Amino acid sequence: MIIGKRKHLVKHSGFWIVTPDFHLTLNVWSENPKTYFLGEPIFIENSKKLLDQFELEFPNPKIDILDSTLLENDIDLHLKELKIEFDRLELFKITKVFIEGLTIDNDEVRIDTKTQFKGFEIWKMNGYIEIQSDFEKRLNMAGIEYEIEDDLTNGIIYLKAKKRA
């Protein structure tokens, strides 16, 4: 992770599909817990293809810069440009993400790291039981192992992808 002339070692990265609005959230954590990138929402253009084939419709997705966050030592660096590119379109085969951007102070941002699809984040709102049931059915049909975590504090169900059969 490079911010201006400063380098930070990436510790881990992953991304989730978030409902009810079907967007991606991408997290990149550095070795310093106060320095990380959170890209969201990353818009999914074809939710049918996502649900039927677990495939994204884009190599270079559209992303909301205002809601995305880049913190360095707990200081928000405010992005003014941002581009994200995944190495593949199929969710379970994505292994890398490349992020480049520019802060409002004109510091270049470059992140080239391994990443993986973590699963589905289902907010407990009207209809969430049907959404959860549909995702579980599709994961089972595709032979994808997963575990369920019920975050009672935040009102979220996580379907955490483990591996493809």
Cβ-based burial of 165 (10 A; exposed 0-12, middle 13-18, buried ≥19): exposed
Query: How many C-beta neighbours within 10 Å does residue 45 have?
Result: 11
> CB within 8 A of 10, min separation 6: which ones?
1, 28, 29, 30, 31, 111, 113
116-136: pLDDT as tens digits: 999 999 999 988 999 999 999
Residue 160: beta bridge partners? 119, 147
**Domain count across the chain:** 1
9-41: pLDDT as tens digits: 999 999 999 988 889 999 999 999 999 999 999
Confidence of residue 165 (pLDDT cuts 50, 70, 90): low
Asked whether 82 and 101 are in contact (CB, 8 A), the reply is yes
Q: Which of 58, 15, 20, 76 is nearest to 40 (CA)?
A: 15
Confidence of residue 91 (pLDDT cuts 50, 70, 90): confident
> Domain of 72?
2-164
Confidence of residue 48 (pLDDT cuts 50, 70, 90): confident
Quote the percentage of the chain above a pLDDT of 70: 96
pLDDT greater than 80 at residue 164: no
